[in-house]
Amino acid sequence: MSTTWPQKLDAATLKTGSSVCVGLDPDPRRMPVPDVFEFNRAIIDATLDLACAFKPQIAFYEALGIPGLNALKRTVEHIRRVAPHAVVVGDAKRGDIDSTAEAYARAMFDLWDFDVVTVHAYLGRQSIEPFLGQPGRGVLIVCRTSNPGARELQDLRLQASSSRADVPGKRLFEHVADLAEEWNGRGNIGLVVGATYPEELGELRAAHPNLPILIPGVGAQGGDVAKAARAGADRHGRGIMVSSSRGIIYASSDPKSFPDASRKAAERLRDEIRAALASQNPADR
């Protein structure tokens, strides 16, 4: 039987002793060197033993046109070569009808070679299904995002399906997580839950003890690392990818020393997560 991506994540977390996911969001206005691939390569080489995952955000490559997309392709190839343990997350947040979702799945897996892709669930199970058929691949369903405006739709309270008027309905994001669990027959679905909402993160972990969770929103977005790690980790202290992009890749603007600065930032994040989980009473997990 082939390895699922959550199993790969578990092995990577054990091997590196790290739940850090390095977000590769190249922005020419901030990069200390001009070439996107050379920038990414330096970051990857400097952090690969500290990261269980790398996460290119496709928007940043698309914004640079064909040269950007070529750099994305070379970046994933480089990760495969030097860090075969690492889960490669394509942060694409796609969500479309079945025939289109099939085309996206071909793009994301066959072309870009991501292990797992972030997706929207608004179109229902059909729109996710095309991403679930390939061994070793899968999705992370956007559940509770890290931005301040997340509450606008995601916190909407649904009517209780129960006929008892005193039972409150779930919030939309909780229902999305329930659907993710329901659709997870092959064990290749996870959730995206922002670090900026540790309370909701903890509730989701309690309700879904086995779903892997991608946790963006630490660093530049202000999420508290220790709170998020404690709230999100599973009972083994794993099952999370705590993702930082700007905080790691733009740790220095010096063209010579930026890889070293990135390494130090990733190391700090790894240690903060470790310390938070070590100080947690296992019984609380």
Contact flags string 41-80 toward a copy of itself, x per CB under 8 A: ----------------x-xx-xx-xx--xx--x-------
- Out of 22, 140, 142, 241, the only residue in the binding site for a copy of itself (CB under 8 A) is 142
Amino acid at 158: L
- Out of 176, 211, 241, 249, the only residue in the binding site for a copy of itself (CB under 8 A) is 176
Q: How far is CA 18 from CA 146, 243, 267, 275, in A?
A: 21, 11, 9, 11
Q: Segment near a copy of itself (CB under 8 A), from 1-9, 100-108, 253-261, 264-272?
A: 100-108
Which secondary structure element, helix H or strand E, spans residue 126, and what is its range? helix 125-128
Q: Is 73 a catalytic residue?
A: no
Q: Does 133 bind a copy of itself (CB under 8 A)?
A: no
Amino acid at 210: N
Q: Which is nearer to a copy of itself, 50 or 250 (CB)?
A: 250
Q: Segment near a copy of itself (CB under 8 A), from 2-10, 101-109, 224-232, 250-258?
A: 101-109
- Out of 80, 82, 84, 126, the only residue in the binding site for a copy of itself (CB under 8 A) is 126
Q: Which is nearer to a copy of itself, 150 or 241 (CB)?
A: 150
The 8 Å CB, 24+ separation contacts for 144-147 are 144/173, 144/191, 144/192, 144/193, 144/194, 144/197, 144/200, 144/201, 144/204, 145/192, 145/194, 145/216, 146/194, 146/195, 146/196, 146/197, 146/216, 146/217, 146/221, 146/223, 147/194, 147/196, 147/221
| Residues taking part in catalysis | 93
Q: Which residues bind a copy of itself (CB under 8 A)?
A: 25, 27, 57, 59-60, 62-63, 65-66, 69-70, 73, 91, 93-101, 103-104, 106-107, 110-111, 120-127, 142, 145-154, 156-159, 165, 169, 172, 175-176, 179, 221
